[in-house]
Amino acid sequence: MRKNILITGASSGLGEGMARAFAAKGCSLALCARSTEKLARLQSELLANYPNIRVFVRSLDVCEYDDVFEVFRGFRDDLGSLDRVIVNAGMGSRSAIGSGDFPSNRKTVETNFVAALAQCEAAMEILKDQNEGHLVLMSSVSAVRGFRGSINVYAATKAAVASLAEGLQLDTLGSPIRVSCILPGYILTDINRDVENAPFRVDLETGVQALVKAIEKEKRRAYVPSWPWTPLSHVLRALPFRLYARAM
């Protein structure tokens, strides 16, 4: 069992939910996010509920790339090793391309992909030194094909994350290092709370339990929840463009 787990973006949403779920399994945690106040509250809660685990928290803006390396190394020193690193920090997009909101779309790209690259670099440095561990990249079912409008940029970043994960899987093939790409469907968080068209959306608790189950299986690629997103992913890929455009 992977006992020492680092989660980025751990102060809210899926990151916070996964922290609670892994703590309940007896895992020690390294949690980082921008909000130190939320992290401190979560740390206190987890230590009170699970006194046999260790929980370390550090402030981190994943777009401060040098800080990513410093924080990851610090957590490794805190815990002695990192058994699993979950690259979870991310944000949604809100503007269609050409709507005059390039700064917002650029921020989404930097947060969801460039910062994910920095986290992968920092994690792989540690896992290679240990010659052991599990790297988890959080993508999205929106990575399967392009999406229109305000989801376009978000979907593109998640497709890039999925491709990055597969490349790392090739790099680590045959080694003791595992790399997983997790592609959640609609799980109720602040990112999609206001999305009107959110088919098969599940509540946070259901989604988190499915995420943790998928992560612990350590498969190369997993859609969450598996039903209906695994079969739907094949359908989406196979749809001719005009039919796909009508469906979207």
> Is 65 among the catalytic positions?
no
Q: Which residue has the tokens 């376009």?
A: 152
Query: How far is residue 191's CA from residue 188's CA, in Å, rounded to a whole number?
Result: 8
Taking residue 49's Cβ as centre, other Cβ atoms within 10 Å add up to 11
Closest to 90 (Cα-Cα) out of 164, 180, 189: 189
Q: Kindly give the pairing relationship between strand 55-59 and strand 84-87.
A: unpaired
Taking residue 148's Cβ as centre, other Cβ atoms within 10 Å add up to 11
In the three-class reduction of DSSP (H, G, I as helix; E, B as strand; rest coil), residue 142 is classed as helix
Map 64-106 to HEC letters. CHHHHHHHHHHHHHHHCCCCEEEECCCCCCCCCCCCCCHHHHH
What is the helix (H) or strand (E) element at residue 184, kind and residue range?
strand 177-184
CA dihedral 213, 216, 218, 219 (to 10 degrees): -10
Candidate list 50, 65, 154, 223, residue with the active-site label: 154
Q: 221 exposed, middle or buried (CB, 10 Å; 0-12, 13-18, 19+)?
A: middle
Rg from Cα positions in the chain: 18
Residues with catalytic function? 154
